[in-house]
Amino acid sequence: MSVAEDMFPLLTKLDKREKLRLMQFLVSDLVSSETEAHPDWPPGYFRQTFGAFRDDPLERPEQGEFEIREEIA
Q: What is the pLDDT of residues 38-64, one digit of tens each?
A: 678 788 888 888 888 888 888 899 999
Return the pLDDT at 18.
92
Complete DSSP assignment for 17-68: HHHHHHHHHHHHHHHHHHHHH-TTSPTTHHHHHTTTTSSS---PPP--PPPP
Residue 29 domain boundaries:
3-49
Q: Would you say residue 24 lies in a domain?
A: yes
Percent of the chain with pLDDT over 90: 19
> Which of 24, 26, 21 has its CA nearest to residue 3?
26
Q: Would you say residue 33 lies in a domain?
A: yes
Q: Would you say residue 15 lies in a domain?
A: yes
Query: What is the count of structural domains for the chain?
Result: 1
Q: Would you say residue 30 lies in a domain?
A: yes
- Under the banding of pLDDT at 50, 70 and 90, the label for residue 4 is confident
Return the pLDDT at 35.
55
Task: Look at residue 17 and tell me whether its pLDDT is greater than 90.
Answer: yes
